[in-house]
């Protein structure tokens, strides 16, 4: 069985106290679209944080589906913009790109 | 009730001063200070979440401090070019009076949330408009000499620097133009060594600035790692960022202590780097990577907000955590 590097959960970021400085200094968080959070697998601190925020643990495929749905919606919004709004051709004004999650 | 020794396996050490032998989580009695103290772990800086903006957006302006910040303008499709302004008190964002001209890619300056400057941007088309925030309202003041979007801004509402940016159609090419603000007018000064837009900036006034990162080539996306420092007369190239990027946030009240946060590599990054006046050092990442975010504060106490993609109102605060804490009883 492949060793998992990451685990995923869904938890709504309520703001203050959702991720504390002391948690961020011990856990490599990665916030993703759709309130999906990637944290290290097999990690005591990450497991405690998921419990604290009542995170709903997702498989890789489930997390990917949630992220895809949000990105697809954002792409549709971008596609509907008038050309003038798409004009400044910097990276942050490009069509939202697909995100591929890792095991 | 179990004693400390029964629970932890050791007695509380009685020590005069800081007990260097304390492991993380260990309590001791400081007989010099007559207080209990605890080692909460290594002293590091890290990001923590805070309450989100009311209006999720990207490419907004930002000013102020860790506990008193201002977010203004930006884009929130559909219906870009926002005028919305929000004020942060260290916990919550509150809607305040709107800007006069809706725009994104805004240049910004201001070290409090009661005195800020917004200049340039994209509305659509390049903007030269400058607006002054007095804590209650935005007032139109004299515009930039060169209209542009994505200028980097630093300083205060009475002494600011507008560096670089991009021109409009058809080239959308980078600009090296720099202008100084004296509280009334903009004056063209020496250009950046390397023209660029959507870079970040830090500095105390129009005579001491730092510009870092940016996208010098909108057609091909070529994020820069270059850093330049301004002494009031000339730009000097100094040590590079470790990670080249554009549309990052910069915080810092001086040009010798700054923070480079997030941005696009071109994919969004969570990377954070701290500037000590000589070198950039990688520090703890954002919890949510993003580009086109705004920020306020210093390199020790900062807040960043908004960004893309997707469009978000996420707020994160930067401060130190860990170290020796005194246990207080009430």
Cβ–Cβ of A92/B247 closer than 8 Å?
yes
Q: What is the pTM of this model?
A: 0.91
Identify all chain B residues contacting A88, using CB atoms and an 8 Å cutoff: 105, 122, 149-150, 166, 172, 218
Report the chain B residue with the minimal C-alpha distance to residue A94.
B309
Report the chain A residue with the minimal C-alpha distance to residue B320.
A21
The pLDDT value recorded for residue B223 is: 54
User: Reduced to 3 states, what is the DSSP secondary structure of residue B157?
Assistant: coil
CA distance to partner chain A, nearest, from residue B312 (Å): 9
The pLDDT value recorded for residue B185 is: 98
The pLDDT value recorded for residue A92 is: 58
Look at residue B155 and tell me whether its pLDDT is greater than 60.
Answer: yes
Which residues 19-58 on chain A approach chain B with CB closer than 8 angstroms? 19-25, 28-31, 33
Model confidence at B323, pLDDT cuts 50, 70, 90, reads confident
Report the chain B residue with the minimal C-alpha distance to residue A71.
B310
The pLDDT value recorded for residue B2 is: 76
The pLDDT value recorded for residue B43 is: 87
Every domain of chain A and the residues it spans:
6-93
> Which tops the pLDDT comparison, A87 or A66?
A66
Mean pLDDT of the A9-17 span: 97
Mean pLDDT of the A42-66 span: 97
Look at residue B218 and tell me whether its pLDDT is greater than 70.
Answer: no
Cβ–Cβ of A89/B292 closer than 8 Å?
no
Cβ–Cβ of B49/A78 closer than 8 Å?
no
Whether chain B has a CB inside 8 Å of the CB on A5: the answer is no
Whether chain B has a CB inside 8 Å of the CB on A89: the answer is yes
- Summary mean pLDDT of chain B: 92
Picking from B275, B51, B52, the residue whose alpha carbon sits closest to that of residue B154 is B275
CA B72, chain centre distance (Å): 14
The pLDDT value recorded for residue B300 is: 95
B257 close to B251: Cβ distance less than 8 angstroms: no
Note the pLDDT tens digit of each residue in B12-28.
899 999 888 888 888 99
Cβ–Cβ of A21/B319 closer than 8 Å?
yes
Q: How many cross-chain Cβ pairs, A to B, lie less than 8 Å apart?
A: 127
Phi/psi for B227 (5° steps) reads: -125, 135
Look at residue A73 and tell me whether its pLDDT is greater than 80.
Answer: yes
Characterize the bridge pairing of strands B235-238 and B227-230. antiparallel
DSSP B242: S
Of B246, B270, B310, the CB nearest to A74: B310
Mean pLDDT of the B209-236 span: 82
Q: Which CA distances in Å does B256 have to A57, A93, B238?
A: 43, 31, 11
Note the pLDDT tens digit of each residue in B60-99.
999 999 999 999 999 987 767 899 999 999 999 999 999 9
> Which tops the pLDDT comparison, B4 or B278?
B278
Mean pLDDT of the B130-141 span: 98
The pLDDT value recorded for residue A39 is: 97
The pLDDT value recorded for residue A2 is: 62
Q: Which domains does chain B have, with CATH numbers?
A: 4-39 (no CATH), 44-320 (2.120.10.80)
């Amino acid at each position: 069985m492949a060793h998992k590097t990451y685990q995923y959960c869904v938890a709504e970021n309520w703001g203050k106290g959702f991720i504390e400085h002391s948690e961020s200094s011990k856990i490599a968080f990665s916030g993703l679209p759709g309130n999906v959070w990637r944290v290290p697998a097999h990690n005591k601190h990450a497991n405690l944080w998921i419990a604290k925020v009542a995170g709903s643990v997702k498989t890789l495929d489930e997390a990917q589906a949630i992220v895809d749905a949000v990105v697809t919606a954002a792409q549709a919004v971008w596609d509907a913009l008038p050309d003038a709004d798409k004009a400044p051709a910097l990276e942050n004004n490009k069509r939202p790109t697909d995100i591929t999650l890792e095991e | 009730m179990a004693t400390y020794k029964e629970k932890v396996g050791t007695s509380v050490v009685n020590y005069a001063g800081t007990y260097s032998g304390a492991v993380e989580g260990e309590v001791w009695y400081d007989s010099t200070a007559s207080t209990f103290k605890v080692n909460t772990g290594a002293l590091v800086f890290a990001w923590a979440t805070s309450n989100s903006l009311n209006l999720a957006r990207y490419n907004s302006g930002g000013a102020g401090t860790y506990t008193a910040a201002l977010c203004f303008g930006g884009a929130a499709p559909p219906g870009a070019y926002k005028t919305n302004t929000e004020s942060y008190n260290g916990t919550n964002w509150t809607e305040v009076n709107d800007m006069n001209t809706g725009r994104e890619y805004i240049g910004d300056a201001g070290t409090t949330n009661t005195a800020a400057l917004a200049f340039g941007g994209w509305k659509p088309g390049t903007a030269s408009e400058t607006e002054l925030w007095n804590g209650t309202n935005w007032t139109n003041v004299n515009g930039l000499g060169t209209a542009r979007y994505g200028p980097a801004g630093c300083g205060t509402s009475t002494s600011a620097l507008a560096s670089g940016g991009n021109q409009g159609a058809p080239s959308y090419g980078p600009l090296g133009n720099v202008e100084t603000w004296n509280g009334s007018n903009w004056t063209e000064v020496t250009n950046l060594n390397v023209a660029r837009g959507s870079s970040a900036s830090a500095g105390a006034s129009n005579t001491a600035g730092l510009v870092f990162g940016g996208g010098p080539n909108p057609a091909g996306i070529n994020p820069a790692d270059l850093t330049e420092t301004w002494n009031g007369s000339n730009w000097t190239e100094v040590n590079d960022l470790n990670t080249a990027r554009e549309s990052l946030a910069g915080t810092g009240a001086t040009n010798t202590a700054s923070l480079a946060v997030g941005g696009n590599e071109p994919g969004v990054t969570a990377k954070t780097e701290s500037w000590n006046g000589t070198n950039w050092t990688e520090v703890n990442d954002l919890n949510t990577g993003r580009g086109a975010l705004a920020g306020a504060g210093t390199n020790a106490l900062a807040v960043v907000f908004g960004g893309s993609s997707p469009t978000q109102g996420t707020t994160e605060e930067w401060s130190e955590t860990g170290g020796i804490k005194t246990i207080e009883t009430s």
